[in-house]
Amino acid sequence: MHKEQLIAKLQDKTALVAIIGMGYVGLPLMLRFGEVGFRVLGVDVDGAKVDMLNSGTSYIEHIPSNRIAAARRAGFEATAEFGRLRDADAIIICVPTPLNAYREPDLSFVIGTTEALVPHLRPGQAVSLESTTYPGTTDEELKPRIESRGLKVGEEVFLVFSPEREDPGNPEYVTKTIPKVCGGVTKNCLDVGLALYGEVIDNVVAVSSTRAAEMTKLLENIHRAVNIGLANEMKIIADSMGIDIHEVIRAAATKPFGFVPYFPGPGLGGHCIPIDPFYLTWKAREYGLNTRFIELAGEINSKMPGWVIGKVVEALNERGRPVKGSRVLVLGIAYKKNVDDMRESPAVELMELLAARGALVEYSDPHVNVFPKMRRHRFDLKSVPLTPETLERYDLVLLATNHDAFDYKMIGKHARLIVDTRGMYLDPAPNVVKA
């Protein structure tokens, strides 16, 4: 009875959808549910975010404030009160899943959120976890906590895992058009999950279990991590041979079959690719398995910032300058181009490595005006405006993130020395060192 009533409320959009975690995943999802007519409640422990959302203001660059304001007019509300979840018909969890200091899964946000919502659960609700995690998390961590309240999963509460697939800054794919994988703890759970997401996503892909859905997300990101690791290793080999790997990759990409181009860089960034593979390597140990291929890619990728710094040191030495005391301008500190997302950005590690060697480090990023407060990184800096005059003040310009907004021709003309980690300068130039 609970299942049929809940599905009916989802299909006629009278259901209240609560989304926990108003970040890069939860905020676009909130907007999408609101667009199709659902009442949406946004829950976040950050009071500053709650206040901004309720005032109709966005804190994510690629999501304009006018969309938040429109959602507010349509009935969206943000809150820090978990007690409000008792009114929700569907609860979607979009919280971080980082690694701890030992590169092991840190599920504290997921578990803390689950324990905070469990006292407010009631029969007839759906709970969906979207946070990337190892296979078994939904079954082993969420299900027992929900059932500790006396609610039977699959009969009274419907539990699913549906991994997020956001790509911030990519205008070709939005929440509506990105196919969404969904797995349920039971068949009833899956039916409710398909009804929930089927109202807002064009193509919902059902899989047989939450474990299959959890593994799907890991495979997607491990696929990228491994191929980027290969590209990074090829870059080091090609550099040793005096070959431009970016030229090689672009040439190889002209093959119309059997090759997918992946480009090297200064390291891996974002919340997914540098972190997610280690969720699987950790879980695989429970089964006595060693994930050598995945760990090798992680080792290569994690060493790239150090390799880039080696190229910086070499470039300065050849011009008679030590790193200590040199003025270095880092171009782009977001983890990828055209976004303001700083999570796990390799550019920040480059800044720290340079500062540790005595360099005077500044940055320029049109998407990050002020260096944000971060859990592990501290820089009291503001973005430097790029002009011919400012560029000429620096001993070296380190191109870390290739934003489209940069005027690469002007930079190439006025910078004394450029270390290019993104292959933006294909033609040889006396002031460009490729890294």
In the three-class reduction of DSSP (H, G, I as helix; E, B as strand; rest coil), residue 5 is classed as helix
CA distance linking residue 423 with residue 434, whole number of Å = 7
Supply angle C-alpha 331, 334, 335, rounded to 5: 115
> What single string gives the DSSP state of each residue in 32-101?
HHHHTT-EEEEE-S-HHHHHHHHTT---STTS-HHHHHHHHHTT-EEES-GGGGGG-SEEEE-----B-T
Q: What is the DSSP letter of 120?
A: G
Cα angle 208-209-212, degrees, rounded to a multiple of 5: 90
For 63, what's the count of Cα atoms within 13 Å in the CB-facing half-sphere? 28
Distance CA 392, CA 106 (A): 44
Q: Is 231 left (phi over 0), alpha (psi -120 to 50) or beta?
A: alpha
Question: Pick the catalytic residue: 94, 182, 189, 272?
Answer: 272
Active-site residue, 272 included: yes
Intra-chain end-to-end CA distance of the chain, in Å: 62
Please list the active-site residues: 272
